[in-house]
Amino acid sequence: MAVRRIDVREKVMAKNDELAAQVRDRLHTHGVPSLNLVSSPGSGKTSLLERTLDALGDRLRMAVVTGDVQTQNDADRLAVRTDRLVQAVVTGGACHMDARQISAALDQIDLEDTDLVFVENVGNLVCPASWDLGEEAKVVIFSVTEGEDKPLKYPRMFERSNFCVINKIDLLPYLPFDMDRAVAYAAEVNPDLRFFFTSALTEEGMGDWYEFLVDLADTEREARLEA
Amino acid sequence: MHELSIALDVCRIAEEHVGVDALARVTAVGLDVGDRAGIEIDNLEFCLEALLGSAPFGSGRPEIRRLGGEELSVTYVEVEDDGGS
């Protein structure tokens, strides 16, 4: 039997990228920046968000889309800190979140009544790097218990991120972690990375992070009002 | 780690191009995969062999061309003629 070849030439991620572009447009229309938080499991994404919601809850209306794989735990921890904004997306064993999930989550958020959207991605330094979620920026969180060479081991994630939060700095006195080397490795992979040095536990260094978030939300809102 | 998701997307793209009725007659799906696409190519190949070799597909095979860069695309689908239309 004859075999017929059909030309396709279609990018595998095209569908996701199209949806991500729609998400991005939608957020821009409402003047709402979004940050995609990525990290390995246990680096402190949820703790960082808890602190942030506590500290900035009076100044910013923050929504969180969370991608816990197996439980409602992260969503439950965040739900006590923000009355109406947490949307849980449970990915059922998947290793990443995709733009379709974000699009569906945004349907449940009143963007006119929101200043900033956080996406708490699945804890994984590999797969989430491949999925554009329509975010304004990726923030890679990297804790000092993980070893300085994480950026070299997972370069794609650090390349694709705009910001790097080095977390758990309260533990530095007890660890052989070399901060200069960690920063140098991350900057080697991505010279444009901007760093924050935080402890979500003691709140050390969180001031810079808060200031950055408030500026980001203000800038985006002003840009929208001028448009 | 996400190769199965990618493989399922590849199957979706193949279906969009040949139609659901022709899936059982797909003999090959061609892909270009770059070395910086974030894909473990052997793993993707394994997933595609499993998916293309079982219903609604029949005995299809992935044909992966390894390239440099971030390319990740489906380039062609080969289908056996059904002898009729």
Percent of chain B past pLDDT 90, that is, above it, reads 80
Contacts of A3 in chain B (CB under 8 A): 27, 78-81
CB-defined contacts A:B, below 8 A: 77
Instruction: Determine how β-strand A194-197 pairs with β-strand A163-167.
Output: parallel
- Mean pLDDT over B51-80 rounds to 95
- Mean pLDDT over B28-44 rounds to 93
Chain A positions touching chain B (beta carbons under 8 Å): 1-13, 15, 94-96, 98, 124, 126-127, 129-130, 156
Chain B positions touching chain A (beta carbons under 8 Å): 1-2, 5-6, 9-10, 12-14, 17-18, 27, 30-31, 36-38, 72-81, 83
Domain carrying residue A130: 14-219
- Given this model, what pLDDT does residue A92 score? 63
- Mutation pick from B9, B26, B51, B65 vs chain A, by most beta carbons of A within 10 Å, is B9
Tokens of B26: 């797909």
- Given this model, what pLDDT does residue B14 score? 96
In a domain, A170, yes or no: yes
Residue of A nearest to B22 (CA): A4
> What gap in Å lies between CA A37 and CA A128, rounded to an integer?
10
Contacts of A157 in chain B (CB under 8 A): none
CATH level 2 (architecture), domain B3-79: 2-Layer Sandwich (3.30)
Interface ipTM: 0.88
Residue spans of chain A under pLDDT 50? none
Token look-up 């904004």 returns: A85
Q: Which residues contact A213 (CB under 8 A, 6 or more apart)?
A: A52, A56, A60, A116
CATH (domain of A165): 3.40.50.300
Residue type, A172: L
- Mean pLDDT over B63-81 rounds to 95
- Given this model, what pLDDT does residue A84 score? 53
User: Environment class of residue A222 by beta-carbon count within 10 Å: exposed (0-12), middle (13-18) or buried (19+)?
Assistant: exposed
CB nearest to A4's CB, from B9, B36, B78: B78
In a domain, A147, yes or no: yes
Contacts of B73 in chain A (CB under 8 A): 8-12
Residue type, B45: E
Burial track B43-68 (b if 16+ CB lie within 10 A, e otherwise): ebbebbeebbeeeebeebbbebeeee
Contacts of A125 in chain B (CB under 8 A): none
- Given this model, what pLDDT does residue B65 score? 97
Instruction: Determine how β-strand A3-11 pairs with β-strand B72-80.
Output: antiparallel
Number of structural domains (chain A) is 1
What are the structural domain ranges in chain B? 3-79
Q: Which residue has the higher pLDDT, B82 or B15?
A: B15
pLDDT at residue B85 is higher than 60: no
Tokens of A18: 């199209």
CB nearest to A12's CB, from B10, B77, B80: B10
Q: Do A5 and B77 touch (CB under 8 A)?
A: yes
> What gap in Å lies between CA A140 and CA A195, rounded to an integer?
10
With CA atoms as reference, report the closest residue to A6 among B63, B17, B10.
Answer: B17
CA distances from B56 to A50, B11, B30, B60 (A): 46, 10, 18, 11
- Given this model, what pLDDT does residue A58 score? 93
With CA atoms as reference, report the closest residue to A38 among A182, A152, A167.
Answer: A167
Predicted confidence band of residue B84 (pLDDT cuts 50, 70, 90):
low
In a domain, A56, yes or no: yes
With CA atoms as reference, report the closest residue to A107 among A224, A23, A36.
Answer: A23
- Given this model, what pLDDT does residue A142 score? 94
pLDDT at residue B4 is higher than 60: yes
Contacts of A38 in chain B (CB under 8 A): none
Sign, Cα dihedral of B14, B16, B18, B24: positive
